[in-house]
Homo-oligomer: A and B are copies of this chain.
Amino acid sequence: MSVEFDQLLLEPAYRKVATAIAERILDRRLREGERLPPEMELARQFGVNRSTVREALRELESNGLVSRRPGSKLMSVSRPQPGAVAEGVSRALVMHDVTFLEVWEALTMLEPPIAEAAARARTAADLAQCLEAAERFSSDNEATERAVLHAADFFRSVGRATHNQVLMLAQEPLLQLLVPSLQVMIDQVQQARARIAVAQHRICEAIKARDGQEARNWMTKHIRDFRKGYELARIDPSLRIA
């Protein structure tokens, strides 16, 4: 028997409303695509003011559980977009002063097995996407910004080839954090673009041949190159990411 009292949690009404709606969404009583009742109706059902309902909706909206189709004002239930979710994670990591070293270490762990899984699970369409992504990098890498975005997109295309949503979502924040620091590095290292292109090419070939081991190996080299690039550019890898 505990002698202590539970810390009584007095949640504001807007929070209760938010969790109540979120619950209905998560247990599928409100299904995806279905439109949400109007704010007035929700206010009536919950017995609160419309302002309160609106504050709750803002929370759900920022979690991606509700959204509106572009050019519409009606709110409908939606599955959170991976990019948006990952953005929240990225911001959290930035606030925690993550360093490039930490991001790089995570990439080192995650990407090679992803490449291996992609080689096993890829479909013809996946392979085409990987090839296209590599081609985009090769043919349009002069502008720093575009080069970096294409490099990240290549990782995304490999991730999609795994057909594992968990991996895609785990990978996304890393890519978002990689982009800004890669942008600094890539212009200071002459051979960077060429080496990236080669690695992408090899990875694609391995994925095409369904050679998991080879895909993993080249991805390992690819990631290791990032680290080397930072050393060559004399960027301190233990600096926090902007």
Contact = CB atoms under 8 A, between A and B. Distances in A.
Interface residues of A, number: 49
Given A58-B58, A109-B109, A169 B92 contact: yes
Interface in A96-143: 96, 98, 102-103, 105-106, 108-110, 113-114, 117
A37 interface: no
Number of chain copies forming the complex: 2
A54 interface: yes
Interface string A194-213: 00000000000000000000
A94 B92 CA distance: 21
Interface centre among A85, A108, A110 (most CB of B within 10 A): A85
Nearest to A25: B95
A165 B96 contact: yes
23 contacts: A25-B95, A32-B95, A54-B55, A58-B58, A58-B62, A59-B59, A62-B63, A64-B92, A65-B91, A80-B91, A88-B88, A92-B169, A96-B165, A98-B166, A103-B166, A106-B164, A106-B166, A106-B167, A109-B117, A109-B167, A166-B177, A170-B170, A170-B173
